[in-house]
Amino acid sequence: MSVTTYLRNESNNLLEYDNFGIEIEAQPLSEEWASYGLVFRRATETNVNSLYTLFITSDGRYGMYKRVAGTLSADVPVTRRASPFIRTGANKNLIGVIAQGNTFAIYINRVLVITVTDDTFAKGYIGLTALTGPNNERASVAFTRVTILTPDKARAEWGSGVPSAAAQPVGTPATVAPPPPIVLPPCPSPLPAGMLYCEDFATKESQWCTIGTDFMDFAWSPYKYTITVKVKDEEWFCFRRGEYDNFAIEVEAQSLSAAGGAYGVSFRRSAEGHYYNVLIDSRQGQYVMNKVIAKTADAKWSPSPLIKPGLNKNLIGVIAQGNTFTIYINRVPVTTVTDSAFAKGLVGIGGRGDSTGNHASAAFTRVTILTPERAKTEWGSGKSP
């Protein structure tokens, strides 16, 4: 269940704000899942539950929703997504928003994570909110500070820049150097034992798509194969000829889109068009493994600090053995899942368009298919940190 309380003055009157900055400090009081944050511009009419809600969750996600006359709007300002700047579990977090006109700048622990626009509500009440999870009946959250400022004062205190190379995820010491990049050698010829396929796009004579469609575009340049997904919130892939059942695939790729989107690998695509995929969103620091049936995916995104952010290259790997799939990010295993829906099929590379409708482009610089045994030897099979 959810509980919301609104700020009042000494005369017990509700306080109304239009343009302002608000920051709260809060923490869950147990390791049980909790969602908590603030509501603002809540309608002043009695019994009209129209408002914005900005929240974070104890498993490292945030979002901004709006309700119109009590109904959660399908037009979501910020869909729930991961952020490396959230302190997970029962740790304190600062949650802030600068609301100015129809523009909202959202801060987590004094880092600007996103700016969005929405003109549904112009002013209203401010409150604090907490929500239990689907598997627990109780969630206790302690709010230890609420500060309301002018937008100018908030920007001066919190900063107004986007996360830079110097910005560290909360809890990461600034003195810790990032891991060295993994440098892949050129594709060998002939292929060694256990390597079934290798493509580094050195020449244009590859077995991948060349003719664009209404949904995707393809472009080749030496050692780079670029795929652009042109459809909002949809996944599209180029599939290579040849079926695989038990195998491993690793792709090296990087986002070319400042706006967002995701990229990755698809495998075991059936003749009916069903498949699995693994995608990463380097802007949001999250990954997902989907089972896609009739273009409908069934999984949720998970945050990972192993994803190199922004326009950096990442390695995405999957070892598929029977109904067991081990997912690797930059040669570190992040999860193992089981599913028996698809036993064999095509492999592909591609991506997902972002939620704003902007084209999402990714450059693929290496695709390698191996036996599971060779992949475990090359990538390692230890537990993730």
Tell me what pLDDT residue 356 has.
Answer: 67
pLDDT category of residue 167 using cuts at 50, 70 and 90: very low
Task: Check whether 346 has a pLDDT greater than 80.
Answer: yes
State pTM to two decimals: 0.56
Task: Check whether 150 has a pLDDT greater than 90.
Answer: yes
Tell me what pLDDT residue 10 has.
Answer: 56
Name residues whose C-beta falls within 8 Å of residue 117's C-beta, 6 or more positions apart in sequence.
Answer: 102, 103, 104
| Torsional sign, CA 326, 182, 264, 60 | positive
pLDDT category of residue 368 using cuts at 50, 70 and 90: very high
Tell me what pLDDT residue 3 has.
Answer: 63
Task: Check whether 176 has a pLDDT greater than 70.
Answer: no
pLDDT digits (tens, 9 = 90+) for 9-65: 555 677 889 999 999 999 998 878 889 999 999 987 766 688 999 999 988 889 999
- Distance from C-alpha of 84 to C-alpha of 87, rounded to nearest angstrom: 8
pLDDT digits (tens, 9 = 90+) for 69-85: 888 888 888 888 888 88
- Distance from C-alpha of 236 to C-alpha of 351, rounded to nearest angstrom: 6
Domain at 195-379, CATH class: mainly beta
- CB-based contact 363:224 (threshold 8 Å): yes
Tell me what pLDDT residue 168 has.
Answer: 39
CATH homologous superfamily of domain 2-158? Exo-inulinase; domain 1 (2.60.120.560)
Buried b or exposed e, range 172-202, using 16+ CB within 10 angstroms: eeeeeeeeeeeeeeebeeeeeeebebbbbbe
Task: Check whether 186 has a pLDDT greater than 60.
Answer: yes
Tell me what pLDDT residue 385 has.
Answer: 32
Task: Check whether 220 has a pLDDT greater than 70.
Answer: yes
Tell me what pLDDT residue 16 has.
Answer: 87
- What percent of the chain has a predicted confidence (pLDDT) above 90? 46
Q: Which two tokens stand for residue 231?
A: 């459809």
Ranges of CATH 2.60.120.560 domains, the chain = 2-158, 195-379
Tell me what pLDDT residue 169 has.
Answer: 40
- Distance from C-alpha of 95 to C-alpha of 130, rounded to nearest angstrom: 13
224 vs 133, higher pLDDT: 224
- What percent of the chain has a predicted confidence (pLDDT) above 70? 86
Calculate mean pLDDT across residues 282-286. 86
